[in-house]
């Protein structure tokens, strides 16, 4: 089993890389955001911890966590964001570790935006999806309807290219076609001795 951590900034094309790895190379994909959402479901540990610290104001009329309301709170208030992250991130990495342990797959790819120290031991390698800023801005406009200003603001708020690259074992360039990307991923996997379909 090979476990790859996959990261990259907004608009770099992580979703496309995940889709190719899943459909063309038979990878099991785990998305950290989706795991965080699971942990906020009623009855989960994250659900109870968040209510404990944020109060019942984050619940909707069905007693579910209102993620839009929570999102507004944590984006306005840095200390609230840090508190929520400090509660949820360790739970996310613990759950991801459990998912990896329970799997029999030959290739598991875990997508994440922010990595805590506790996550490093989960991966054999970390890959960074990189794209030029103008390509990222174009994608964010095309697929999410973001203005150039909004895209630039989000890009600036994330880790820099140097920070990402310093953390990673492999850089995936994603400025060209889907075929270019598929070929690049196939070559990388082949160089690691992994079967490609």
Residue 14 annotated as binding?
yes
Asked if residue 176 belongs to a known ligand binding site, the reply is: no
Categorise residue 71: left if φ over 0, alpha if ψ from -120 to 50, beta otherwise: alpha
- Comparing C-alpha atoms, which of 29, 21, 33, 39 is closest to residue 100? 29
**∠140-142-147 over CA atoms, to 5°?**
55
What is the rounded distance in angstroms from the CA atom of residue 93 to the CA atom of residue 34?
A: 12
| Among 92, 100, 93, 118, residue whose Cα is nearest residue 2 | 100
Confirm or deny that 11 is annotated as ligand binding: yes
| Residues contacting 78, CB < 8 A, separation 6+ | none
What is the spatial distance between Cα 69 and Cα 89, in angstroms, rounded to a whole number?
19
Query: Does the annotation list 13 as a binding residue?
Result: yes
Binding-site sequence positions for ATP: 11-16
Binding-site sequence positions: 11-16
């Amino acid at each position: 089993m090979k476990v790859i951590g996959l990261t990259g900034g907004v608009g770099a094309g992580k979703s496309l890389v995940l889709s190719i790895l899943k459909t063309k190379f038979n990878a099991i994909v785990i998305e950290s955001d989706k795991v965080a959402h699971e942990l906020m479901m009623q009855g989960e540990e994250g659900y109870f911890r968040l209510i404990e610290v944020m109060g019942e104001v984050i619940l909707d009329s069905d007693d579910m966590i209102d993620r839009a309301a929570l999102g507004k709170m944590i984006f306005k208030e840095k200390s609230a964001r840090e508190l929520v992250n400090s509660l949820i991130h360790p739970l996310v990495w613990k759950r991801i570790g459990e998912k990896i342990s329970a799997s029999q797959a030959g290739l598991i790819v875990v997508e994440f935006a922010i990595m805590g120290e506790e996550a490093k031991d989960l991966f054999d390698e970390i890959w960074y999806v990189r794209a030029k800023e103008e390509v990222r801005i174009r994608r964010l406009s095309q697929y999410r309807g973001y203005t150039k200003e909004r895209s630039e603001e989000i890009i600036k708020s994330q880790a820099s290219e140097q920070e990402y690259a310093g953390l990673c074992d492999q850089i995936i360039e994603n400025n060209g076609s889907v075929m270019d990307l598929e070929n690049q991923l196939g070559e990388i996997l082949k160089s690691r001795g992994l079967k490609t379909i």
